[in-house]
Amino acid sequence: VGERFVEATAVRRRAAAADVWDGEITPGWDIGGNANGGYLMTMAARAMAAAAGRPDPVTVTAHFLAPGTVGPIEAHAVVVRAGKRFSTVSARLMRDGQPIVALLGRFGELAGGDGPERVDGDPPDLPPVEECHRFDVDDPIAPGFRSRLDIRLHPDDAGFHRGQPSGRPLVRGWFRLLDDEPIDTMALLLAVDALPPTVFNAMLPIAWTPTVELTAHVRARPAPGWLRCSFANRFVTGGFLEEDGEVWDAAGRLVAQSRQLALVPRS
């Protein structure tokens, strides 16, 4: 505990010419022994950005293939096409010679557009941070992971942990890194996968929802301060569910959208 996110997700290029980066899944970023998806995605995205020579993830898709256990990883990243403004990069995260995450993403430099703007939506309406539910000490399946982040859930969405789900598949909360570590566009890839699953509030017989695929769109570099996050699900059907996320910065701007497809384990 105390390890900064930027260090816990650092990767080093093996050689100047190689398409391989080395990193390490460090302890405490797991949910029940498997490293959090957003954590793994960030680690891979750092290698992808380095391969692209472009700093910001614009859209990144990750397919989760196998558990990420503590220990060394390799990130293989290859530029598929370098364009004028963006580069498209394909990547794999390998653990013990096996792929654990496959990714495809577009990288560029997010500097704020000068084009038309139209926003149909607002940041989630959250009570002040100190009136929200501190989601760390009481999470039995991920005490380490929760203590690495500062997440404050909307009180209306936090009852599931005492066996009182709200009945609405909605989870809203404040998010920041510990010790006010700055949140850049890479850390947004963690923010879109850090809150508890919405289905915990849905009053369905679903105890876990393994993520098949997560796509994050990053719209802007976040302003310093707390992020406001909102995740919702509408369709549990065919053995799958989606989870749509929005992340807003302290300046009230939408900085990321996400959608994941997760499995509904057969009962």
Task: Using CB under 8 A, list all residues that contact a copy of itself.
Answer: 58-59, 61, 63, 65-66, 80-81, 83, 86, 88, 90, 92, 98-99, 102-104, 106, 110, 112-121, 169, 202, 204-206, 212-213, 215, 217, 219-220, 233-240, 242, 253-254, 257, 259, 261, 264-267
Nearer to a copy of itself, 134 or 217 (CB): 217
Nearer to a copy of itself, 34 or 151 (CB): 34
Could you give the maximum distance between any two Cα atoms of the chain, in Å? 54
In whole angstroms, give the CA distance from residue 153 to residue 161: 11
Closest distance of CB 85 from a copy of itself, Å: 9
In whole angstroms, give the CA distance from residue 163 to residue 161: 5
Answer left, alpha or beta for residue 116, where phi above 0 means left and psi between -120 and 50 means alpha: beta
In whole angstroms, give the CA distance from residue 68 to residue 8: 14
* Amino acid type, 225: G
Closest distance of CB 156 from a copy of itself, Å: 17
Nearer to a copy of itself, 74 or 150 (CB): 74
- CB contact at 8 A, 240 and 264: yes
Closest distance of CB 215 from a copy of itself, Å: 5
User: Which positions ≥6 away from 24 have C-beta within 8 Å?
Assistant: 71, 72, 73
- Among 111, 106, 110, 9, smallest CA distance to 49 is for 106
Closest distance of CB 233 from a copy of itself, Å: 8
User: Which positions ≥6 away from 18 have C-beta within 8 Å?
Assistant: none
Three-state SS for 258?
Answer: strand
Nearer to a copy of itself, 59 or 69 (CB): 59
> Residue 221 has what DSSP assignment?
P
In whole angstroms, give the CA distance from residue 227 to residue 248: 6
Closest distance of CB 245 from a copy of itself, Å: 12
Closest distance of CB 164 from a copy of itself, Å: 18
- CB contact at 8 A, 209 and 216: no
> Residue 200 has what DSSP assignment?
G
Nearer to a copy of itself, 8 or 241 (CB): 241
Nearer to a copy of itself, 76 or 133 (CB): 76
- CB contact at 8 A, 110 and 56: yes
Nearer to a copy of itself, 151 or 216 (CB): 216
Nearer to a copy of itself, 7 or 114 (CB): 114
Closest distance of CB 102 from a copy of itself, Å: 5
Closest distance of CB 3 from a copy of itself, Å: 30
